[in-house]
Structure 1
Amino acid sequence: MSESMRRVVVRSIDDVQLEQVPAPAPGDDELLVRSTLVGVCGSDVHAALGDHPFIDLPYRPGHEVVGAVVAAGPGAEDFKTGDRIVVEPNLYCGHCPQCLAGRYNICEQLKVFGCQTPGAMADLFTIPADRVHRLPDTMTDRQAALIEPLATPVHAVAKAGDLTGRTVAVLGAGPIGLLTLIAARHAGAARTVVTDLRPAKLERARRLGADVTLNADAPDLVDRAHEVLGGRVDVVFDCVARAQSMAQATELVAKGGQIIVVGVGAPGATPVRLDLVQDREIRIEGTLMYTAADYRTSITLITSGAVDADEVITAVYPLEEAGKAFTAALDPDQVKVLVSVPQT
């Protein structure tokens, strides 16, 4: 093992560089892990553009990571060298009321590995052993790279309860929107409509099982959605989280229905039709990240064949071209962009 390693630092979307830093060593209850594949998340792009409300520049990315254990610190000896793992990156306190209730994804002191702490877009990283999940031998690294991105939609869909026989709208056909579609269909949604501005994204949504796709800018979007679904929508998943999408969600949803905000909203206020929220008893609920149960569901979904990794992963760049990976992730026709970390 070398005494130094490469790690990506992001100062802006146009300034994504490799820095040379000392290689870490695992502390108590920690693992030293060699990165294999690291995803560029939508949150990473927002952060690089300087408009993520909870990530400050510069930062060291890499929370969507697949890797292999290099060494285990004291207390983490249950892991052995070569174990393939995926990181669950929410770093929680364990003591606040939310953590004690099992909702550690909304810990009052929550930090996210690779967002508020240095991440795994590097040759090596350390992580508490209780923040990783072992991978099934049958799962490829490319499939495993989708566990973390899928866990967020799985968590969001779980908030809607049993979707059997219900109608669903997914606003936005980016990575999270497409994976929300997959999770909703797996949860029993009877009919699904997906909206987006890009024809290529809508075509991909149809390939992944959307019953109907609609242009998000269509002036008659709400009426057309109601027509094809046979009425108002039971559950709307807003994976865009902007003023336009929230306005559409409020018009689309049925009386007594749910709007689940999955996308990261822009800082500041977003107008909402409170008259409709009140009159129709609409429930608007946010959703953040996931818990271990969502990871287990994601692993089951992927190993079952419900997720076509080749359909979702659209580009892979080596670590030394991380800047190109961030630029590619800006392309609206890309879905999931990965960074590969070959052994040095």
Structure 2
Amino acid sequence: MTEQIRRVLVRSLAEVTIEQVPAPVPGDDELLVRTTVVGVCGSDTHAAAGHHPFIDLPYHPGHEAVGTVAATGSGADDFAPGDRVIVEPNLYCGGCAQCRSGRYNICQELKVFGCQTPGAMADLFTIPADRVHRIPDGMTDFQAALVEPLATPVHAVAKAGDLTGRTVAVLGAGPIGLLSLIAARHAGAARIAVTDLLPGKRERALRLGADTALPADAPDLVAQAHAALGGSADVVFDCVAREQSMAQATGLVAKGGHVVVVGVGAAGATPIRLDLVQDREIRIEGTLMYTSDDYRAAMSLIASGAVGPADFVTATYTLEDAAKAFAASLDPEQVKVLVTVDGP
């Protein structure tokens, strides 16, 4: 009889269930991976609420995935059962202009494992062998679970150019905002201001190295940030991506400065001050996911001790309690919620 596995199915925030399905079988160039840890991302809760512009309900989550190779396809002989791996979830075509130039994170046909395809919030999953990275010796599963979330800010910081000696504002102190703070500091930023609505998030930002952490709803936020930074910010990372945050970003950034949009915006139009963008020669740039270079940089940063689970992992749940994990992730005081999988 075909082995049955558990797999999470998300129909809505109120309907996160466990289904029993046949165990997947790896294709020639694929790996069969047994999940050990998988993160719940902000994109997951946005999708479950029906608010994500690129993820349709129902879906099978799990793109922040850590696991152990259980079996290999005939063409995946670079890996062996027992190898510990993390998933790089961008599934790209390899043939479009973006892929050919190395920017496969913006592939014309991009799909994301665990978003547009079944993910790793399950006992077992299959994945193309070229979409995983071996976990470095000595790195724990919880450390490895932070590689994917960190790779996005690493990519965003790289898009901003050389930050050495520059001033930075990070809007939003959720997981991506806090990791952007660390990545920007590692890249040489001289002073960093972080904003958030919640005092607990602002306190965490200060513990992680922010020079100042300001209430995001302060009516004089721009003036406070300018005073703390000694002037306008050279670079602003908008990890909120809403009308209010974009208005703050254009007010905070220096003439000739750079606004990097890291957060996933809602579908539809977002008003911005084009007069300021034009008059101040502000560069506004989006950033999507990462490439393998960003993954390697994220692994190196974690291995150095600059990013650790104690600062980010605030709750863990078993696979059977995936619904509780999604509910916990809605609590704005949480940072990173992990689901652990110990076999069927």
> What corresponds to 2:72 in structure 1?
72
Cα deviations across residues 317-344 of structure 1 (Å, max 9, x unaligned)?
Answer: 0000000000000000000001000123
Alpha-carbon distance between aligned partners in 2 of 1:78 and 1:96, rounded to the nearest angstrom: 26
Cα deviation for residue 12 of structure 1 reads: 0.2
Matches within 5 A, 1:1-344: 3-344=3-344
Give the SS at the match of 2:119.
Answer: coil
SS of the aligned residue for 1:162 comes to coil
Q: What is the deviation of 1:309?
A: 1.3
Letter in 1 for 2:319: L
2:134 counterpart letter in structure 1: R
Amino acid aligned to 2:94: G
CA distance in 2, matches of 1:24, 1:165: 50
Counterpart of 1:305, as a letter, is: G
CA distance in 1, matches of 2:3, 2:115: 25
Q: Tell me by how many angstroms 1:25 deviates.
A: 1.1
Q: CA offsets per residue over residues 80-103 of structure 1, 9 Å max, x none?
A: 111000000000000000000000
Aligned partner of residue 332 in structure 1, secondary structure: coil
Amino acid aligned to 1:103? R
Distance 1:279 1:93 in 2: 39
Aligned length: 344
Q: Displacement, 1:204?
A: 0.4
Distance 2:326 2:83 in 1: 29
SS in 1 for 2:46: helix
Task: Give 3-state SS (helix, strand or coil) of 2:77's partner.
Answer: coil
CA separation in 2, counterparts of 1:65 and 1:17?
19
Q: Distance in 1 between matches of 2:240 and 2:46?
A: 12
> Which secondary structure does the structure 2 equivalent of 1:310 belong to?
helix
Give the Cα–Cα distance (whole angstroms) in 2 for the partners of residues 86 and 18 of structure 1: 23
Structure 1 SS opposite 2:35: strand
Residue by residue over 1:26-58, the C-alpha shift from the partner in whole angstroms, topping out at 9 and shown as x without a partner, is: 111100000000000000000000000000000
Residue 201 of structure 1 aligns with an amino acid whose one-letter code is K
Which whole-Å CA distance do the structure 2 matches of 1:326 and 1:343 have between them?
20
Gaps of 5+ in 1: none
Secondary structure of the residue aligned to 1:338 is: strand
Q: Matched residues in 1 for 2:154 and 2:183: separation?
A: 6
Give the distance between the partners of 1:147 and 1:208, measured in 2 at CA: 17
Quote the Cα distance in structure 1 between the aligned partners of 2:12 and 2:312. 26
**Residue type at the aligned position of 1:127:** I
* Amino acid paired to 2:35: S
User: Structure 2 CA distance, aligned partners of 1:95 and 1:78?
Assistant: 23
Q: Distance in 2 between matches of 1:289 and 1:230?
A: 31
Question: What SS does the aligned partner of 1:71 have?
Answer: strand
Distance 1:194 1:271 in 2: 23
Unaligned runs of 5+ in 2: none
SS in 2 for 1:62: coil
Give the distance between the partners of 2:139 and 2:96, measured in 1 at CA.
35
TM-score under structure 2 normalisation? 0.99
Q: How many Å apart are 1:77 and its aligned residue?
A: 1.3
Query: Alignment partner of 2:324: what SS?
Result: helix
Equivalent residue of 1:210, what SS? coil
SS at match of 1:27: coil
C-alpha distance in structure 2 between counterparts of 1:13 and 1:332, whole Å = 15
Secondary structure, aligned partner of 1:153: helix
Distance in 1, Cα, partners of 2:77 & 2:103: 27
Tell me how far apart the structure 2 counterparts of residues 206 and 93 of structure 1 sit (CA, whole Å): 41
User: TM-score, with normalisation over the residues of structure 1?
Assistant: 0.99
Q: Pairwise CA RMSD of aligned residues?
A: 0.8
The structural deviation recorded for 1:2 is 6.6
Q: Secondary structure at the match of 1:70?
A: strand
Q: 1:308 Cα deviation (Å)?
A: 2.0
**Paired residue secondary structure (1:202):** helix
Please state how far the C-alpha of 1:137 moved relative to its aligned partner: 1.3
Equivalent-residue separation in structure 1 for 2:77 and 2:251 (angstroms)? 54
